[in-house]
Amino acid sequence: MLRINELKLPLNHPEPALREAILARLGIADDDLLDFTVFKRSYDARKKSAIVLIYSIDAEVRGEAAVLARLTRDQHVMPSPDTSYKFVEAGKPAPGTPRPIVIGMGPCGMFVALILAQMGLNPLVLERGKIVRERTVDTFGFWRKRKLNTESNVQFGEGGAGTFSDGKLYSQIKDPKHYGRKVLTEFVKAGAPEEIMYVSKPHIGTFRLVKMVEQIRAEIIALGGEIRFETRVEDVLVSEENGVRQVQGVRLASGEEIPTRHLTIAIGHSARDTFEMLYERGVYIEAKPFSIGFRVEHPQSLIDVCRFGPNAGNKLLGAADYKIVHHASNGRSVYSFCMCPGGTVVAASSEEGRVVTNGMSQYSRAERNANSAIVVGITPEDYPGHPLAGIAFQRELESRAFVLGGSNYDAPGQLMGDFVRGVASTEFGSVIPSFKPAVHLTDLASSLPEYAISALREAFVAFDKQIKGYYKEDAVLTGVETRTSSPIRIKRRDDDLQSLNTRGLFPAGEGAGYAGGIMSAAVDGIRVAEAVALAMGAD
């Protein structure tokens, strides 16, 4: 097969034009093009009136060697790389070796368990939350009736926080081994649309994610894995001999102890009590940067026109997204994060008396508003003194938001123009917020530190130069966004992915500080599963 990159065609090109473009690029006759598939399709919308589709094509041609020899100077034509997944060659565990345990059934833990199960290593998954459909009932119940279940919500439960998101399946991580392709392949096998294999920014949406999560769970179990829900790990059992710490097992909240020498921690960025337990057990943890800010809602139609001009509404383009950044005069960076076209802002609290926001979209992306987190980067210098100080800082901001919203899980909100001017908002304009239970209009100035407020005020005005119309007087800000990423990193060695100071402990995914989003978390899960398999074979 040949890979052809940077094959450009007009947005509304007729279907035969793609084949004709392949023939022209390769300089071959129609009979010599035996077959082709689209590997990737993206677009260039810099010129709104003439948006261009950009294809990467895998083509099967007659006389491939001769075609390659003739096109040696064309850097965009090459042999197609092998993107198929290949399991690591790991030895069999010694007889009597306890099975590997995975804590967490989010995207990372799910793929750790799936790969281990596919390798015949019979993993045990321990998930503190409920199965995804029961979890969905609890989450929607919180949104509608303000009844928070602290063990079953947007953060905790089968599928992880990514279940209640836009279901974005793209990442900027380096992926030389094509692990991302393995992730997409498994998702399609579990029911995701085939298009995620080739569109440039694939997404699934919450309802489809629910069904996919169930299918992957079923495969793990069919391959010999076990998954226990509503099972909270209360302690990690660690031995120490001659200065070497080694995982020996876990203790559950029920008191049951389960032995293992290979424990993956894939707990997501909000399992604060587990972070505290690991720190108390002497596992090396350090503070890391994260970001804080608000969710911002505009009419999706406005964003579509701003990004696509006369091509707004084209089915191939779908609902427009955006990515913006501003370097404020006080030295802070302000940027968009987790942008959800045609979506809703959702209540993402996992602790009583605290308000947190997140964004979510369905596959159709058909809701009236676009929303994105607009956040300010912060570092451990902003919350010094302790490796877990970032957690305390998040809690403080979330508690402030709870009070500002009325102490009933309504979120505090403000119109963009009022926020920039520093006056409280009293009524909504043309943009009606999507957050449930409700948005309570107020003055958000006290919800975040002053350096964040001033940077955000400056950025909202500056963003209008990047997206004309972005500074909209009645766009709605909803507070607060604090769970952009984990506030800690459970450091691991580069060679075997085990904890710096505790053998047999494999920190993984977003909670451990090694991923950000569904795709990168799942890819990290594959890497960690391979490391676990190699360690089990070597013990």
Q: What is the DSSP string of 124-180?
A: EEE-SS--HHHHHHHHHHHHHH----TTSSSSSSTT-GGGGS--B----S--TT-HH
Q: Return the DSSP state at 314.
A: -
Q: Return the DSSP state at 503.
A: B
Q: DSSP E strands: which ranges in 268-355?
A: 286-287, 290-299, 325-327, 333-340, 344-347
Q: Return the DSSP state at 245.
A: E
Nearest CA to 285 out of 357, 414, 386 is that of: 386
At residue 5, what is the residue type?
A: N
Distance (Å, rounded) from C-alpha 263 to C-alpha 246? Answer: 10
Distance (Å, rounded) from C-alpha 462 to C-alpha 265? Answer: 41
- CB count in 10 Å sphere of residue 356: 25
- Whether residue 208 contacts residue 105, with contact meaning beta carbons closer than 8 Å, is answered with no
Three-point CA angle 273, 276, 278, nearest 5°? 110
Phi, psi of 535, rounded to the nearest 5 degrees: -65, -40
Max Cα-Cα span within the chain? 72
Residues 6+ apart with CB under 8 A from 408: 146, 437
Q: 294 has which bridge partners?
A: 374, 479
The two three-digit tokens of residue 308, written as one number: 């696509």
Taking only Cα atoms into account, the Rg of the chain, rounded to an integer number of angstroms, comes to: 25
Nearest CA to 387 out of 236, 510, 505, 491 is that of: 491
- Whether residue 437 contacts residue 143, with contact meaning beta carbons closer than 8 Å, is answered with yes
Residues 6+ apart with CB under 8 A from 524: 108, 508, 509, 514, 515
With residue 233 as reference, give the H or E element that holds it. Answer: strand 233-241
SS3 (DSSP) at 304? helix
The two three-digit tokens of residue 386, written as one number: 């302790």
Distance (Å, rounded) from C-alpha 109 to C-alpha 522? Answer: 8
- Whether residue 82 contacts residue 186, with contact meaning beta carbons closer than 8 Å, is answered with no
Nearest CA to 487 out of 416, 396, 410, 392 is that of: 392
Distance (Å, rounded) from C-alpha 249 to C-alpha 381? Answer: 35
pLDDT digit string (tens) for the chain, length 539 residues: 999 999 999 999 999 999 999 999 999 999 999 999 999 999 999 999 999 999 999 999 999 999 999 999 999 999 999 999 999 999 999 999 999 999 999 999 999 999 999 999 999 999 999 999 999 999 999 999 999 999 999 999 999 988 887 678 878 788 999 999 999 999 999 999 999 999 988 888 777 888 999 999 999 999 999 999 999 999 999 999 999 999 999 999 999 999 999 999 999 999 999 999 999 999 999 999 999 999 999 999 999 999 999 999 999 999 999 999 999 999 999 999 999 999 999 999 999 999 999 999 888 899 999 999 999 999 999 999 999 999 999 999 999 999 999 999 999 999 999 999 999 999 999 999 999 999 999 999 999 999 999 999 999 999 999 999 999 999 999 999 999 999 999 999 999 999 999 999 999 999 999 999 999 999 999 999 999 999 999 88
Distance (Å, rounded) from C-alpha 183 to C-alpha 110? Answer: 11
Q: What is the reported pLDDT for 372?
A: 97
Q: What is the reported pLDDT for 207?
A: 76
- What's the burial of 303, exposed, middle or buried (CB within 10 Å: 0-12/13-18/19+)? buried
- Whether residue 287 contacts residue 380, with contact meaning beta carbons closer than 8 Å, is answered with yes
Distance (Å, rounded) from C-alpha 295 to C-alpha 393? Answer: 19
Distance (Å, rounded) from C-alpha 207 to C-alpha 199? Answer: 20
Produce one character per residue of 204-243: b if its CB has 16 or more CB atoms within 10 Å, e if not: bbbebbbebbbebbebbeebebebebebbbebbbbeeeee
- What predicted TM-score, i.e. pTM, was given to this entire model? 0.95
